[in-house]
């Protein structure tokens, strides 16, 4: 069986004491105490997820097409009466 290398974009963010790793195109996430641990854990989660899709004869989402990924934050003014979820 031929093995393919699939590339999926992963978004990392710090939440309290943990790093959260989200894979938007697969709808999965994982975490770790360090960035490296979160990366290792999410790579394992991706592999397990894809194996599950294959076993259930479900199509595997296409890898993310571009290596040109940019991430930024936008600062906006919030209305004074806005309620936030934390």
User: Which tens digit of pLDDT belongs to each residue from 7-66?
Assistant: 999 999 999 999 999 999 999 999 999 999 999 999 999 999 999 999 999 999 999 987
Buried b or exposed e, range 38-59, using 16+ CB within 10 angstroms = bbebbeebbeebbeeeeeeeee
Domain count, the chain: 1
User: Which contacts of 50-54 are long-range, i.e. CB under 8 A and separated by 24 or more positions?
Assistant: 50/6
Supply the pTM of this predicted model.
Answer: 0.79
Give the domain CATH number at 39: 3.30.160.250
In terms of residue numbers, what domain contains 19? 1-86
pLDDT at 73: 82
Helix (H) or strand (E) holding 53: helix 35-55
3-state secondary structure of 18: strand
């Amino acid at each position: 069986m031929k093995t393919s290398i699939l590339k999926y974009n992963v978004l990392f963010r710090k939440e309290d004491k943990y790093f959260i790793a989200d894979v938007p195109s697969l709808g999965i996430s994982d975490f770790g105490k360090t960035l490296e641990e979160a990366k290792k854990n999410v790579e394992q989660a991706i592999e397990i997820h894809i194996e599950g899709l294959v076993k259930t004869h479900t199509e595997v989402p296409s890898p993310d097409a571009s290596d040109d990924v940019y991430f930024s934050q936008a600062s906006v003014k919030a209305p004074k009466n806005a309620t936030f979820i934390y």
